[in-house]
Amino acid sequence: MTRIIADISVSLDGFVTGPDPGPDNGLGTGGEALHTWAFSDDPDDRRYLGEGTARSGAVILGRRLFDVVDGPGGWDDSVGYGAGEVGRPAFVVVTSSPPEAIRLADLDWTFVTTGLADAVTAARERAEAASSHSGKDLDVVLMGGGATIGSALAAGLVDALTLHLAPVVLGAGTPLFTGGPPRALVRRSVTSTSTATHLTYDVL
């Protein structure tokens, strides 16, 4: 069964970027520390990265994050979602205005202008098609940014939440949680490494 999984790195004080993020500084000042685990040689870090990309039938991201990853300093063959891992999923971008041009034209992009719920529906369809083709269950991964994941949680669109808690206090930046209705979580796993504590919850 295809699930909707929010998956994001976060600081101890709840930020998913450092201060002053932008197209040329996607993670903000000091925000690179959030993703140290993704480049670690620790076998548990490698397992989380590999399992996360392997289960991804489709990936949702917001327009701001798209502008970062598609920008001149964004993803390439060595850095990006699934780089060095198995396969590349479909990508669904929530936006009010699709871009006129795409640098990463070799990736499978869909731009949804009718809201987050419709983006989740589109991504689920892509993931289910990929599941049928591969013969294994694949999920939709909400990779961010923080506002997109927060909105999805508030709207009850998320089945599971995976946080990679980095041992850093950023002091400011983009917060993951900014309000919304309460949500009960059931912890499913905790794995600690030198670079992160990986937490997985079911969202009730």
Q: What is the pLDDT of residue 84?
A: 56
Q: What is the pLDDT of residue 83?
A: 57
Q: What is the pLDDT of residue 124?
A: 97
Print the SS3 string covering the chain: CCCEEEEEEECCCCECCCCCCECCECCCCCHHHHHHHHHCCCHHHHHHHHHHHHCEEEEEEEHHHHHHHCCCCCCCCCCCCCCCCCCCCEEEEECCCCCCCCCCCCCCEEEECCCHHHHHHHHHHHHHHHHHHHCCCCEEEEEECHHHHHHHHHCCCCCEEEEEECCCCCCCCCECCCCCCCCCEEEEEEEECCCCEEEEEEEC
Domains, the chain: 4-203 (3.40.430.10)
Q: Order of strands, edge to edge, in the sheet holding 109-112?
A: 109-112, 90-94, 56-62, 139-144, 4-10, 160-165, 197-203, 185-192
Q: What is the pLDDT of residue 26?
A: 82
Token pair 């993020």: residue: 21
Low-confidence ranges of the chain (pLDDT < 50): none
What is the rounded CA–CA span in Å between residue 51 and residue 36? 17
Q: What is the pLDDT of residue 87?
A: 62
